[in-house]
Structure 1
Amino acid sequence: MPAVVLYYSTFQGSYFRFCERDAFSSLRLTRNSDLKRINGFCNKPQESPKPPTHIYSHRVPLHKPTDWEKKILIWSGRFKKEDEIPETVSFEMLDAAKNKVRVKISYVMIALTVAGCIFMVIEGKKGAKRHESLTSLNLEKKARLREEAAVKAKTE
């Protein structure tokens, strides 16, 4: 049963009838999700995508390492000597070597920090035995600067 909508026009005094197939066809089509007909586009058959012009091989892209990257590969333990390093290496191998070197450097930095802290604790304890403190050192320095300023004032 088609839905009929009536409009009253006061200018002409007559009724206009619009059937669903005429006025509301776009609404009917949106319900059916046929958007190409709503916009008035012609329905061309979809063209299949063109096959790629080049054939993709599953090879890993290679990179020629610089002298610095060769040193990193040696430091990471991947190769023993520079002669063993191939002419081209994969980016994954280079990234893994860089990460290994970063970890080694961070371990060295941690060890140096701990050693520095231990050294400062030992030096602080030695200074405490000699009754040295920052306060006493500052007071001595200020007293010496006052004396120098007084001597300078007398000579001028």
Structure 2
Amino acid sequence: MGSLRGLRQVAGSYFRLYERGASSSLRLTRNSALKRINGYCAKPQESPKAPSYTYSHRVPLHKPTHWEKKILLWSGRFKKEDEIPETVSFEMLDAAKNKIRVKVSYAMIVLTVAGCIWMVIEGKKAAKRNESLTSLNLEKKARLREEAAVKAKTE
């Protein structure tokens, strides 16, 4: 246990020496964005002011492609292609795409349920004709054996 404690102390002192050298370079490179307080780096307490790179209140606009115009029409956002403005917001385009995504999902659900119902109906029709997968496979194998026997005789 004693060696572990000594190892921690050596590592801690080495880290503090390294931190002193690194913190001075941090202060120089980041224009005093970080300052040293009790051996730790912390952000300075300054009055909140808006940085120069803040998001402006204008919404960024996007010129829709032909496909995006079709999406805007299918989603019901616009009635005619002539009504679509030259530029639209990304939010409007995302909302239209999400609406189309939901409609496609509903259509896939309906097609899946319809396919299941259709397969049940076809299975019941086959059961009335006394057809099963087993009987169909046995008939197919018998046919293949006959063809193989005929082919073997001709050779």
TM-score between both structures, scaled by the size of structure 1: 0.66
Residues of 2 paired with 1:125 and 1:54: CA distance? 68
Q: For the structure 1 residues 85 and 118, does the alpha-carbon distance in structure 2 shift closer, same or farther, using more than 3 Å as the test? A: same
Q: Does 2:119 correspond to 1:113? A: no
Question: In the alignment, which residue of structure 2 is the partner of 1:95?
Answer: 94
What are structure 1's unaligned runs of at least 5 residues?
Answer: 1-33, 39-47
Q: For the structure 1 residues 152 and 92, does the alpha-carbon distance in structure 2 shift closer, same or farther, using more than 3 Å as the test? A: same
Which structure has the highest helix share of the two? 2
Residues of 1 paired with 2:145 and 2:153: CA distance? 12
The residue type equivalent to 2:125 in the other structure is K
Q: How does 1:41-52 map to 2 (within 5 A)?
A: none
Residues of 1 paired with 2:56 and 2:123: CA distance? 65
Residues of 1 paired with 2:38 and 2:123: CA distance? 87
Question: In the alignment, which residue of structure 1 is the partner of 2:133?
Answer: 134
Q: For the structure 1 residues 128 and 49, does the alpha-carbon distance in structure 2 shift closer, same or farther, using more than 3 Å as the test? A: closer
Deviation at 1:93, TM superposition (A): 0.4
Question: In the alignment, which residue of structure 2 is the partner of 1:59?
Answer: 58
Question: In the alignment, which residue of structure 1 is the partner of 2:67?
Answer: 68
What are structure 2's unaligned runs of at least 5 residues?
Answer: 1-34, 40-46
Q: CA RMSD in A?
A: 2.8
Would you identify which runs of 4 or more consecutive aligned residues in structure 1 move more than 2 Å? 34-38, 48-57
The residue type equivalent to 2:63 in the other structure is K
Number of residues of Structure 1 aligned to a counterpart in Structure 2: 116
Question: In the alignment, which residue of structure 1 is the partner of 2:4?
Answer: none
Q: For the structure 1 residues 51 and 121, does the alpha-carbon distance in structure 2 shift closer, same or farther, using more than 3 Å as the test? A: closer
Query: Deviations for 1:98-153, whole angstroms, at most 9, x for unmatched residues?
Result: 00000000000000000000000000000000000000000000000000011111
Question: In the alignment, which residue of structure 1 is the partner of 2:7?
Answer: none
* Greater Cα radius of gyration, structure 1 or 2: 1
TM-score between both structures, scaled by the size of structure 2: 0.67
Residues of 2 paired with 1:108 and 1:35: CA distance? 61
Question: In the alignment, which residue of structure 2 is the partner of 1:27?
Answer: none
